[in-house]
A = this chain, B = another copy of it.
Amino acid sequence: MYVSASLEKLIENFSRFPGIGRKSAQRLAWYLLSQDKSFADSLAESIKSTVEAFKPCSKCQMLSESDPCPICSDQERDTDLLCIVETSADIQIIEKMNEYRGQYFVLGHLLSPIDGYGPAQINSEILQKRVDELMPKELILALKPSTEGEATMHYLWELFRDKVQSITRLSTGLPFGGDLEYSSSNTLKSAWERRFRL
């Protein structure tokens, strides 16, 4: 194998993405090398400029090019509903469902004390401020049903049980350990409709 240092670094960079193993990363790198140089230029430029442009919205923590983000600035959205998600990408998935017109909040991580993610690392102070500000009637915990997800939902329930009338979670129709992103739209829709009170 003749893998130079620069190629090795590119392969390592690609391997950092979730779901991309070393073999796939090698494939991506060699594909890139075999294409017209303009593709690499466009990709590199696009990566830099997009990441440069996106910052967390001060209200909901979603990565956005504007602050507040388009969802928080939308006057027509329901302020009685606040949906709590793990990542900004989860919001895109839920919006695609075309069912929900309330507010969002992005935790950034699930609680996982072993990995160093305690309450401070999941934006809970900003979330408490946001809940006090909105005083929503329902808090929808749209987190995945994994160990960390369950722990996070329990923590949030303890935190807001006296403040918010109704705290719901998505139906456990979702496969255990599965990412929101990879569930079919029907599964997500039924999980959404069957959400139940904690």
Chain A residues at the B interface, C-beta cutoff of 8 Å: 1-4, 6-7, 9-10, 13-14, 16-20, 23-24, 26-35, 37, 39-54, 63-65, 69-71, 87-89, 92, 95-96, 108, 181
Contact = CB atoms under 8 A, between A and B. Distances in A.
A153 to B, nearest CB: 21
B30 A92 contact: yes
A10 B87 contact: no
Of all A-B residue pairs in the complex, the 6 with the closest CB atoms, nearest first, are A30-B89, A40-B51, A44-B44, A10-B46, A2-B70, A44-B47
27 contacts: A1-B92, A2-B64, A2-B92, A6-B49, A7-B50, A7-B54, A9-B42, A10-B46, A10-B47, A10-B50, A13-B39, A13-B43, A14-B43, A16-B35, A16-B39, A17-B32, A29-B50, A30-B88, A33-B63, A33-B88, A34-B89, A34-B108, A37-B51, A37-B52, A40-B51, A43-B44, A47-B47
A32 B17 CA distance: 8
Nearest to A49: B6
Interface of A is mostly: helix
B46 A13 contact: yes
Most buried by B among A19, A44, A49: A44
A18 B32 CA distance: 10
A4 B40 CA distance: 21
A40 B53 CA distance: 12
Contacts of A43: 13-14, 44, 47
A193 B23 CA distance: 23
Contact of A42 (B7, B13, B49, B88): B13
A71 B181 CA distance: 44
Contacts of A29: 50
Most buried by B among A2, A16, A24, A51: A51
A35 B31 CA distance: 24
